[in-house]
Amino acid sequence: MLSIIIVQYNNQFLTEQCIRSIKEHCSGEYEIILVDNGSSNSNPEKIKSEFPEVKLIVNEKNEGFGKANNLGSKIANGDILLLLNNDTIVTSDFVEKISLIFSADDKLGAIGPQLLNHDGTLQLSWSKLPSFVNEFITKIESDLFYKNNNFVKKNAGRKYQRQRYVDFITAAALFIRKNLYEQINGFDENFFMYFEDSDFCLRIKEAGKKIVYYPDIKIIHLRGASSSKNIESFIKRQYRLSQLYYYQKHKGGLEQLLLKLYLKLSKKYPVEKPHA
């Protein structure tokens, strides 16, 4: 059975659109779990009224992406979890297919589908795990890709058409065995937002499991639609706090020092200290 966990923070119309797309395309054994993360302008009970089969968790405040997914996983009945952003649209029935893929390889821990923009163009969704060097390379490649650099676009197009093992896959849409999720204790709740999926993927690999990018399953991701533009400064600060915490947790002293120097010289160092 597949348990689909959707975290919502405002923008409930996106959640409703996402759930409708699941119900339109998916068959077989699955359940939908919605975690409302302290939304200020949403009515999760309306979703319960329209979709009575949806399991609903309502948090009094925004607990962060990782903790919300952890709460959802605790009431999940499926042996496979799909962590799915509310700003996504399902385009095909993958319930039986994903079960068969996991059944074929015991070492397979997580699967990432191909993510597409609403117009059908490719979205970058996997990469190497963060390091001081990798982040700069990934940032350059990403900037060139989204600025329509022909060489980078063609190269990415070739790479993204093939199934492959990867180090990191975004948690905007990520399938994982539930027993593995529990084995690695889910998301580290010290990450409020950003880098929690990098830490998550690193721990999947440390558990001896593989992560696969699987382009035959395609999901539309309305990139950034679930983050309000009026909280841009908050988002930037949280990004840097999580980045510092990730380096503090996983990287040596030299890389931590290089990151701090870069953030201070570029005046991007967050006001608050990283998590303890």
For 191-231, the pLDDT digits (tens) are 999 999 999 999 999 999 999 999 999 999 998 655 555 57
Go through 144-157 and write b for each residue having 16 or more CB atoms within 10 A of its CB, e for each that does not: bbeeeeeebbeebe
Q: 51-97 pLDDT, tens per residue? A: 999 999 999 999 999 999 999 999 999 999 999 999 999 999 999 99
Q: Please report where in the chains the tokens 């302290």 appear, as a residue.
A: 38
Domains located in the chain, CATH noted:
2-226 (3.90.550.10), 228-276 (no CATH)
Q: Quick one: pLDDT band at residue 274, thresholds 50, 70, 90?
A: low
Question: Who's near 4: CB < 8 A, 6+ residues apart?
Answer: 22, 30, 31, 32, 33, 81, 82, 84
What Rg do the C-alpha atoms of the chain give, in angstroms? 18
The answer to whether 94 touches 21, Cβ cutoff 8 Å, is: no
Q: Quick one: pLDDT band at residue 157, thresholds 50, 70, 90?
A: confident
State the Cα–Cα distance between residues 20 and 272, nearest whole angstrom.
40
pTM of the model: 0.93
pLDDT at 233: 82
pLDDT at 223: 80
